[in-house]
Structure 1
Amino acid sequence: MKHKKHANNMEEMAENTEKVDKTANEHQPASGNENVDDNSAESSGDVNEGNDVLIDELQTEINDQKNKYVRLMAEFENYKRRTNQEKLDIIQTAGKDILISMLEILDDMDRAEKQIEQDTDLDHVKEGVMLIFNKFRNMMAAKGVKSIDTLNADFDTEMHEAIANVPAPSPEMTGKIIDEVQKGYTLNDKIIRFPKVVVGN
C-alpha cells in the first residue's frame, strides 16, 4: 500500500510540475524577436534615408555639370561666331593696304598718260614711264613680293615649271634654264607663282 501511495504522490508531483511549466511559459515575455524586428526596421529606415541623401547629392552634381556644359557650349558658339566674323572681315579687307599703295601708282599713271599726249620728246616719256615702273616694283618689294631669278640657274622641279625642253647651246647649259616665259614671284619667301621656263637638254 505504501508503495502504491508513493507512486500516486510521484504522479501528482509530475502533473503539478507540468502545469507550473506550462503556466510559466504562457506568461513568459517574448524571447527578444520583437526587438530584433524593431532594430531591423530602424536599420532599413536609416539605409533608405542615406540612399535618398546620396541620390540628392548626385542629382545636384549632375545639374551642376549640366549647367557648366550648357554655359561652355554657349561660350563656344559665341567664340565661333566671333572668329567667323573676324575671318570674313580679314578676307574682305585682305588686299586693302596694298590696293591703297597702288592708288599712288595709278595717280602717277594718269599723270604720265596726260604727259604722253602732250610731250613729243620720246626720251622724256620713257624716263617718266620707267620712274613709274620702278616705283611699282619698290612698292611690291616693300610688301614682301619679289621676283625669282631663273636665267642660267639649275632647273629645280620644286621651284620652276618647265614648259619646253630645247637642245642646250653648250654642254655646260645642259639641265639649266635657257629662257623665261613667265616670271615667278615669292611673297615673304614663299612661292606664290612658279616661273615658267625653257630648259636645255
Structure 2
Amino acid sequence: MAIRDVQAGAASAPDGAEEREVKIPVEAAGGQADKPETDPTTGEAPARAEADSMTEEEMVEAAIQAGEDAAENDFKFKYERARSELADAHKEIDACKTAQKEAEDQAREAKERMARLQADWENYRRRTAAERLSERERATEKLICALLPVLDDMERAIEHARAQENSETGKQLTDGVDAVHTKMLDVLAHEGVEAIDPKGEAFDPLEHQAVGRVEDKDLFDETVKDVYQKGYRIGGRSLRPAMVTVTYGGEKRPAPESEKSEKDELKDDSESSEPKKK
C-alpha cells in the first residue's frame, strides 16, 4: 500500500520535476510494524517481550534474584531504621545519665550545705551558750568583787569582837554578825565562789601574793606561814589572790608525786636509750 501511494504521488507530480528514486526499507518497515508498542514511562511491553524470550530456568533465577534484592532492600531499610532508633535510644540514655549526674550533684551539694548549716548552728548554739555563761560569770564576779571588802570588814569585826567579849550583849552581837557572815559565805559558795586560805601549803604565785618573808627552819622553803587576807576563786579563775607571808631557811620542798613520777619515767627512758657497756 505504501508503494501505490508513492507511485500515485509520482504520477501527480507536475511536469518538469526531476524523477527521484525512492527506496523504502521493506524489511525495516516490516520489523517496525511487527514491533510491539511500548510505554516510554513504564516499559512493560519490552519487559513482557523479554520475558517471552526467557527460558523457564532464567525466569526462576530472575525471580530468585528479585526476591533476594527485595529482601536485601527490606533488610537495609529495617537496619537503617533500627540504627536510627538505637541512636535515639543512646541519646535518651545519655540525657538520662546527664540528668542523673546533675541530680546527684545537686543532692550532694544540698547534703553538704545542710551539714555546714547544721555545724554552723551547733557552733552558734555553743558559742551563744558560752557567751551567756561568760556574761553571767562576769556579772557574778563583778558583784562578788564588790562584796569581798565588806566580807573582809565583817571578818575583822568578828575577830575584834571575840577578842573583847566582856558581856553577854557583846557575845550575842558577835554571834549575830557571825551568822550573817556564814550566810554570805553560803550564798557565795552557791554561786561557785571558793575561799583561798593556803596556810601551811606550798606557795603558788598564781593564787597567792607574798607580802613578806619569814625565817622558819621547821617548815619547807616557800611555805605559806600566815594569811593576812583570804583570796577567792570562781570557776577555776582567781578573783583575788590571798595575801600571805612565805617561809625561808628550811629544807627544800620535795617535788610532788606527779612530778616525781614524770622525772622517774624520763630517767628510765634515758637509761634505756643509752648503750650498755661491755
User: TM class by shorter-chain length?
Assistant: 0.3 to 0.5
| TM-score, length-scaled by structure 2 | 0.38
Q: Please say which structure displays the higher CA radius of gyration.
A: 2
